[in-house]
């Protein structure tokens, strides 16, 4: 070779080369590469041995075009990015999703958008970039979110908006039972003027937690007028807590519909000079890291957020595989975790 001449790179082995080495047809190699169940096990072993010997690497792009599968799914979060990256709930959901996807060939694409006026998200999803969608933190007026389920296999985290389609697939927490646990505990420890800071009442989780709370208070003959709506943010909860205390200064307990909101409520209670739980007991919802690290460790309703993400991803992967036994809904339990705040 002349000094300085460029050395040619070896040509990557082709599907045809593998077929020749294995003594089978190109079509048989293709079926083995795509994990077709129609190839006899002994033939699969021969082809895989040839693949290993030649260091053949399948062309994923070509496989995608042939199968019309991208091996990608979208996590769609119709929220402001600030809220998505600031709420530990979403981190737990993503952790569960990725834990399940790590067991598969799928990768995760993230779409965070509170609305889609230019239809960018829908164009992206319709263009064949992903095989399916996971949708969390949806609101009743998120029209583009409900449209997603009409164009691809989809799984909702929580009840779909307005229960839009009885055929929808979703994984949810038993939010009603969780709120009942919180309210029952506050009643059992002798609190009689019990308020709540709700989540958004255009979201199934916010509605269900409020309804569970109200049912328990009504059954116990406790007043149900100490209610203020918030938005699952700490600042929104702080504003709502000030409104509630201005109206009902003798409140002696507070159920706050998320731990992140409870941190905002605790700040206001300290501003007002109230001791926790002496003057007012507080129960949150989530059992996020915020609960244990609060100035007054937070009694809270524990929900399996990571498990929810795992179950959502598992449900979608089963749908994509053609599994016809996938349940339309999975409801996960909650439990009360007792700490110093109540």
CATH number at residue 199: 3.40.50.2300
Provide the pLDDT for residue 5: 46
Burial label, 326 (beta-carbon count in 10 A; 0-12, 13-18, 19+): middle
Q: Six-digit token pair at 331? A: 């409801």
* pTM: predicted TM-score of the whole model, two decimal places: 0.77
Both 161 and 225 in a single domain? no
CA dihedral 41, 45, 51, 53 (to 10 degrees): -170
Check if the beta carbon of residue 139 is closer than 8 Å to that of residue 205: no
Number of domains within the chain: 3
State pLDDT tens for residues 224-250. 999 999 999 999 999 999 999 999 999
Provide the pLDDT for residue 34: 67
Q: What is the mean pLDDT of the chain?
A: 88
Rounded to an integer, the average pLDDT of 283-292 is 94
Provide the pLDDT for residue 134: 96
State pLDDT tens for residues 179-214. 999 999 999 999 999 999 999 998 899 999 999 999
Cα–Cα distance, 244 to 280 (Å, whole number): 13
CA dihedral 312, 315, 321, 327 (to 10 degrees): -160
Cα–Cα distance, 210 to 179 (Å, whole number): 7
pLDDT band at 121 (very low <50, low <70, confident <90, very high): confident
Both 135 and 231 in a single domain? no
State pLDDT tens for residues 151-170. 889 999 998 876 556 678 99
Pairing of β 299-302 and β 335-337: antiparallel
pLDDT at 12 exceeding the cut of 90 = no
In a domain, 48, yes or no: yes
In DSSP notation, 251-292 reads --EEEESSHHHHHHHHHHHHHTT--TTTT-EEEEEE--HHHH
In a domain, 239, yes or no: yes
Last residue of a domain, one of 36, 67, 98: 67
The helix/strand/coil state of 301 is strand
Both 157 and 208 in a single domain? no
State pLDDT tens for residues 80-97. 888 888 899 999 999 999
In a domain, 280, yes or no: yes
pLDDT at 6 exceeding the cut of 90 = no
Provide the pLDDT for residue 68: 60
Both 210 and 260 in a single domain? yes
In a domain, 337, yes or no: no
In a domain, 339, yes or no: no
* Domain that includes residue 279, residue range: 175-304
Question: Quick one: CA dihedral 228, 231, 236, 238, positive or negative?
Answer: positive
């Amino acid at each position: 070779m002349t000094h300085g001449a460029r050395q040619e790179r070896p040509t990557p082995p082709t599907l045809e080369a593998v077929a020749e080495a294995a003594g089978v047809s190109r079509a048989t190699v293709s079926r083995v590469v795509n994990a077709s169940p129609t190839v006899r096990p002994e033939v699969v072993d021969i082809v895989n041995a040839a693949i290993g010997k030649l260091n053949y690497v399948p062309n994923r792009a070509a496989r995608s075009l042939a199968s019309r599968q991208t091996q990608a799914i979208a996590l769609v979060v119709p929220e402001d990015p600030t809220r998505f990256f600031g709420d530990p709930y979403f981190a737990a959901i993503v952790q569960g999703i990725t834990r399940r996807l790590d067991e598969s060939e799928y990768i995760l694409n993230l779409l965070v958008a509170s609305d889609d006026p230019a239809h960018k998200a829908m164009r992206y999803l319709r263009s064949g970039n992903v095989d399916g969608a996971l949708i969390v933190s949806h609101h009743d007026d998120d029209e583009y979110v409900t449209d997603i389920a009409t164009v691809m296999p989809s799984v909702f985290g929580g009840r779909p908006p307005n229960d839009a389609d009885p055929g929808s697939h979703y994984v949810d927490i038993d939010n009603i039972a969780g709120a009942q646990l919180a309210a029952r505990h506050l009643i059992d420890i002798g609190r009689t003027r019990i308020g709540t800071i709700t989540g958004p009442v255009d979201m199934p989780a916010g509605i269900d937690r409020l309804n569970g709370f109200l049912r328990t208070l009504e059954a116990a003959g406790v007043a149900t007028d100490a209610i203020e709506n918030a938005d699952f943010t700490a600042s929104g909860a702080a504003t709502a807590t000030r409104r509630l205390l201005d109206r009902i200064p003798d409140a002696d307990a507070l159920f706050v519909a998320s731990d992140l909101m409870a941190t905002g409520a605790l700040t206001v209670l300290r501003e007002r000079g109230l001791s926790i739980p002496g003057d007012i007991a507080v129960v949150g919802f989530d059992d996020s890291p915020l609960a244990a690290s609060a100035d007054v460790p937070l009694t809270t309703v524990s929900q399996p957020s990571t498990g929810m993400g795992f179950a959502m991803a598992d449900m979608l992967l089963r749908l994509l595989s053609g599994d016809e036994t996938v349940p339309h809904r999975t409801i996960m339990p909650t439990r009360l975790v007792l700490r110093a705040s109540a």
